[in-house]
Amino acid sequence: MILERRGAGALLALIIMFSLSASFLLAFKNDGFDIGMALFGLGFAFLILISYNLAALIFRHIDRITLVICYFLTSIGLVTLARLNIDIAVRQLIWLALGTVVLFITVVVIKRASDFGRLNYLLMAAVLGLLISTLLFARTIGGARNWVYIGQFSFQPSEIAKVMFIIVSAYFFAERRPAPAIVCYAVFTALCVFTLVLSNDLGGALLYAGTFLVMFFAGTGRTFLTFAGLGVLSAGAFASYHLFSHVRTRVEIWQNPWMYHRTQGYQIVQGLMAIASGGLFGAGLGLGYPDAIPVNTSDFIFAVICEEFGIIFGIVTILAYLVFIIRGLIIALNAETRFDALLVFGATCMLSLQSFIIIGGVIKLIPLTGITLPFISAGGTSLVASLALVGIIEGVAVKNGERDEYEIVRAGGEVV
């Protein structure tokens, strides 16, 4: 009885070939050969090769397929960013290297941790501190006030906070906690969402509230209360629509962006036109007009991907997120403790909701709220936070793998 863990070397090789061919093509875009672009492609290939093999070497039971999907999405993002602006792409590559270290550290921490105990109250304070710091010190970019600058360095506190939010939520839903603790947690969540709404970070607010609701349902199984929470969320959204003019504007643009195509609806209209002009097979890498799309390196990067690589490629990207979600759910279902299961469920849910909110916004399925597309959009804090969430998923996968191997060895089998 042998459990064969399948490697994903061939898929990794294909990802490397994809990114190398794209970067070498882009190197010829302007007259002559851009050596910087070629080196960028080689740098990315080297980084994912080293980090994949290192991860498989250090953590025997790491979920390799999840890691490969993560690298696939990152490669799409880096190639698109390199096409738009090589400086941003290089910065993103450096963030990817840093994020990989964070992923490894998170795996070690999650593998050793049980449920963080009272440390969760400290994490709650840290989350609130980070979110309130945006109200006090953040600069407004793209309508949302969520960037904090320290000298030349800038970061998004809400991105770091979301990793801790998942841990805190998993702790409170894993067991039946005393009433004061639950009240404390409910107030904490409400404060998080309220602070984000005040910062105009509606995407972040929706992400936190949505993740809370899904984790609440997964943790307690109470359908009525979940729907009640959904009702409160809808009432909040309705009140925001009437109270805040920017929310009202977003909804009106969503209903008919063509009416505002020169003003507030410009982004969505340009995004939709880019997707349509790309067609099924795309305009070709470097042959589209992504400069016409505002915020093309972050919020609207999906429109750029569809324009240059085609709608089929865009659908494949969405399906890759879907496979990522399914793998996350399988890891959550295999987890030994409720805390671990909720941790993975929360991390998967947060990444999937984030993808849905921004892709849905770009294709006019839901009102647009500024948020990054996980692994793909430019943004160091976002990439590191997404990789930390992958670290949470992988940490529990390693725990599951060790437990499974113990069972298999006791039955005379082995894991190869």
Partner 1 sequence: MQGIYEAAALALRYWFMFAAVIILFGVAGISIKEYKDKRYVMNVAQSSIGYLSVISGPKDIIGENVPLMEINLLGRSKRCDIMFADRSVYKEHAKIHKALSGAVYLERLDKGDISISGRNVENRARLYSMDILCIGNVVTEVHLKEDE
Positions in the binding site for partner 1 (CB under 8 A): 1-6, 8, 10-11, 14-15, 17-18, 21-22, 25, 28-29, 31, 65, 68-69, 72, 76, 281-282, 284-287, 309-310, 312-313, 316-317, 319-320, 323, 326-327, 330, 404, 407-408, 410-413
Question: 3-state SS of 278-328?
Answer: HCCCCCCCCCCCHHHCCCCCCCCHHHHHHHHHCHHHHHHHHHHHHHHHHHH
Cβ of residue 86: shortest distance to partner 1, in angstroms? 16
**Which CB sits closer to partner 1, 125 or 326?**
326
User: Quick count: other Cβ atoms within 10 Å of Cβ 405?
Assistant: 17
Cβ of residue 323: shortest distance to partner 1, in angstroms? 5
**Which CB sits closer to partner 1, 84 or 285?**
285
Question: What six digits make up the tokens of 82?
Answer: 């390199």
Cβ of residue 45: shortest distance to partner 1, in angstroms? 14
CA 83 to chain centre: 22
**Which CB sits closer to partner 1, 97 or 287?**
287
CA 126 to chain centre: 21
**Which CB sits closer to partner 1, 271 or 328?**
328
d(CA 352, CA 143): 24
Question: What six digits make up the tokens of 145?
Answer: 């006030």
Task: Kindly state the helix (H) or strand (E) to which residue 242 belongs, with its residue range.
Answer: helix 223-243
Residue 181's Cβ-count burial label (10 Å; 0-12, 13-18, 19+) is middle
**Which CB sits closer to partner 1, 6 or 242?**
6
**Which CB sits closer to partner 1, 232 or 316?**
316
Cβ of residue 61: shortest distance to partner 1, in angstroms? 12
Cβ of residue 369: shortest distance to partner 1, in angstroms? 27
What is the tally of helices (H) and strands (E) in the chain? 15, 5
- Alpha carbon separation from 17 to 11, 14, 244 (Å, rounded): 10, 5, 48
Phi, psi of 374 (to 5 degrees): -50, 135
Cβ of residue 102: shortest distance to partner 1, in angstroms? 23
d(CA 237, CA 214): 17
**Which CB sits closer to partner 1, 99 or 282?**
282
Question: What six digits make up the tokens of 233?
Answer: 């969320």
**Which CB sits closer to partner 1, 81 or 269?**
81
- Alpha carbon separation from 380 to 3, 90, 95, 254, 286 (Å, rounded): 38, 11, 5, 29, 24
Cβ of residue 325: shortest distance to partner 1, in angstroms? 11
Cβ of residue 310: shortest distance to partner 1, in angstroms? 6
d(CA 273, CA 410): 60
